[in-house]
Amino acid sequence: MDHAALLTAAREAAHNAYAPYSHFPVGAAIITTTGEIICGCNVENAAYGEAICAERNAITTAVAALGPNIQVDTVAVVGLQAAPCWPCGACRQVLREFNCRGVIVEDESGSPIQLPFADLLPHSFGPEALHSPDDHGEH
């Protein structure tokens, strides 16, 4: 899938956002390493901390649909009120959990900007950092 098509899927998802408090609708589209495309949008809540961002919505939807072993090739993120609209820190960490390889957003003119995920979250913490004592030969 080309970058423009993935951004279009994210933009369409943003139109479904539930953002009555921030008025900042965001959509995300992920493509897995096996080619499935899953979209998500932000869903706010009167208890602000219970809101979910578009990127995490897409990931949780992908896990529910495809299982816990999904791997994310690329995520596209579109904010209808601002460009570029980069993933927040929490979303970056969740995307990292599923080995996201790339991120695409739009610049102010609507053109794609692509970055390797490692550039967006360098020196990241991931599952491999959680070693049990047995992993090091200790008991």
Mean pLDDT value of segment 99-107: 96
CA distance 87 to 101: 14
Residue 23 has pLDDT above 60, yes or no: yes
Residue 57 counted as an annotated binding residue: no
pLDDT digits (tens, 9 = 90+) for 40-98: 999 999 999 999 999 999 999 999 999 999 999 999 999 999 999 999 999 999 999 99
Q: Domain locations in the chain?
A: 3-136
Q: Decide if pLDDT at 122 tops 70.
A: yes
Output the pLDDT for position 136.
54
Residue 44 among known ligand-binding residues: yes
| 41 has binding-site annotation | no
Instruction: Cite the active site residues.
Output: 55
Long-range contacts at 6-12 (CB < 8 A, ≥ 24 apart): 6/31, 6/37, 6/74, 6/76, 6/104, 7/76, 7/78, 7/104, 7/106, 7/112, 9/37, 9/39, 9/76, 10/39, 10/54, 10/76, 10/77, 10/78, 11/78, 11/80, 12/39
pLDDT band at 115 (very low <50, low <70, confident <90, very high): very high
List phi, psi (to 5°) of 14: -60, -30
Q: What is the pLDDT of residues 5-21, one digit of tens each?
A: 999 999 999 999 999 99
Res. 128 pLDDT band, cuts 50 70 90: confident
Q: Is 88 annotated as a binding residue?
A: yes
Grouping H, G, I as helix, E, B as strand and the rest as coil, residue 3 is: helix
Q: Does 134 score more than 90 pLDDT?
A: no
Three-state SS sequence of 50-77: HCECHHHHHHHHHHHHHCCCCCEEEEEE
Provide the pLDDT for residue 139. 42
Fold adopted by 3-136? Cytidine Deaminase; domain 2 (3.40.140)
| Confidence label for 1 from pLDDT (cuts 50, 70 and 90) | low
State the average pLDDT over residues 18-30. 98
pTM summary value: 0.90
